């Protein structure tokens, strides 16, 4: 693959002007099912066991119990916890379906506190995407050099999306931070329902801290990935692209830094 593509409406002009790509937190995705695993708990007992192994969690529980009136020290608290474990597990079991639903709903927000995603496509000729993402063929598709070193980073580089029929499973009784939980997190990043497979999407995960920010008129904060001019290789304008937008793009591409960029007009008419 030599080129990857970004479908845009008229605001794609800002990519060319500012040489920046927007990095989107998962809780802003248009598909509400993305980054929401199918959460289950195959063993409440095992989950509780993993929970009380962590010193931080135990300290938090101990602090809560001290506020509630527990008079013993930390060692006494742990001893009491071992004795009452069967009772606690029995009390937790009926609440797990509600807890699992909650964890599924908040997963995108939890990821979005620190991470965002760059979404690209391996194709520029999808008439459906021209309609959905390019303001009904009034926008543009911008091509980027797939060999850019940012895209080629080992492990964390641009990767193909895996289209699946069922949600990724997250069993909360797995050890926290273990291999199964890490594999689940990786699958969630690069999995999407197979009804979206026409997009031929590629993704890359970024840490938001350190990325340039811009505050929009509505007060929301957006994060951006700086792009070198030579990474942009083409601009394809839609069949319904206005003459005004076409002239704006042509004017931007007269900049010496972007003079190499190939311009195709009325691209979506060829689909």
| pLDDT tens by residue, 165-178 | 999 999 999 988 88
Q: Strand, coil or helix: what is 269?
A: helix
Predicted confidence (pLDDT) per residue in 82-103, tens digit: 777 777 777 778 888 898 999 9
Cα-to-chain-centroid distance, residue 217? 23
* pLDDT attached to residue 211: 94
> What's the whole-model pTM score?
0.84
Q: Is it the case that residue 49 has pLDDT exceeding 80?
A: no
Question: Where along the chain do its domains lie?
Answer: 3-37+109-270, 42-97
User: For residue 179, with 0-12 CB atoms within 10 Å meaning exposed, 13-18 middle and 19 or more buried, which class applies?
Assistant: exposed
Contacts of 210 (CB under 8 A, 6+ apart): none
Continuous H helices in the chain: 13-18, 44-53, 55-67, 74-92, 96-112, 127-133, 179-189, 243-253
* pLDDT attached to residue 75: 81
Q: Is it the case that residue 59 has pLDDT exceeding 90?
A: no
* pLDDT attached to residue 266: 66
- The token pair that represents 259 in the structure block: 């003079």
* pLDDT attached to residue 69: 82
Closest CA to 96 of 176, 46, 41: 41
Q: How far apart are CA 141 and CA 90, in angstroms?
A: 56
Closest CA to 258 of 225, 230, 227, 226: 230
Name the pairing type of β-strands 213-215 and 3-8: unpaired
Predicted confidence (pLDDT) per residue in 203-221, tens digit: 999 999 989 998 877 778 8
* pLDDT attached to residue 84: 78
Q: How far apart are CA 14 and CA 217, in angstroms?
A: 15
- The token pair that represents 220 in the structure block: 């929301």
Q: Is it the case that residue 44 has pLDDT exceeding 90?
A: no
**pLDDT confidence bin for 138, thresholds 50/70/90:** very high
Q: Is it the case that residue 270 has pLDDT exceeding 70?
A: no
Tell me if 147 sits within 8 A of 15, measured CB to CB. Answer: no
Closest CA to 204 of 252, 149, 136: 149
- Sign of the CA dihedral 224, 229, 231, 237? positive
The count of other CB atoms within 10 Å of the CB of residue 266 is 14
What pairs with residue 74 in β-bridges? none
* pLDDT attached to residue 223: 95
**pLDDT confidence bin for 271, thresholds 50/70/90:** very low
Report the pLDDT averaged over residues 27-42.
Answer: 92
Tell me if 117 sits within 8 A of 205, measured CB to CB. Answer: yes
């Amino acid at each position: 693959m030599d080129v990857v593509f970004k479908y845009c409406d008229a605001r794609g002009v800002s990519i060319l002007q500012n040489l920046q790509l927007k990095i989107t937190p998962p809780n802003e995705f248009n598909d509400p099912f993305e980054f929401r695993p199918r959460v289950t708990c195959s063993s409440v007992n095992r989950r509780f066991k993993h929970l009380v192994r962590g010193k931080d969690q135990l300290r938090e529980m101990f602090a809560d119990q001290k506020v509630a009136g527990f008079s013993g020290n930390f060692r006494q608290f742990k001893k009491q916890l071992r004795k009452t474990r069967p009772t606690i597990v029995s009390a937790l079991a009926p609440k797990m379906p509600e807890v699992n639903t909650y964890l599924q709903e908040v997963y995108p927000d939890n990821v979005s506190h620190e991470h965002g995603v760059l979404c690209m496509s391996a194709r520029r000729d999808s008439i459906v995407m021209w309609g959905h993402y390019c303001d009904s063929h009034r926008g543009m598709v911008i091509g980027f050099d797939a060999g850019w070193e940012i895209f080629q980073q080992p492990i964390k580089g641009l990767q193909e999306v895996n289209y699946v029929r069922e949600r990724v499973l997250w069993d909360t009784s797995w050890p926290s931070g273990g291999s199964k939980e890490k594999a689940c997190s990786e699958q969630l990043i690069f999995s999407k329902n197979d009804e979206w497979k026409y997009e031929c999407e590629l993704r890359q995960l970024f840490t938001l801290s350190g990325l340039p920010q811009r505050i929009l008129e509505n007060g929301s904060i957006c994060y951006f990935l700086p792009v070198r001019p030579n990474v942009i290789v083409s601009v394809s304008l839609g069949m319904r692209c206005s003459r005004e937008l076409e002239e704006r793009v042509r004017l931007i591409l007269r900049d010496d830094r972007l003079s190499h960029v190939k311009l195709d007009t009325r691209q979506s008419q060829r689909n």
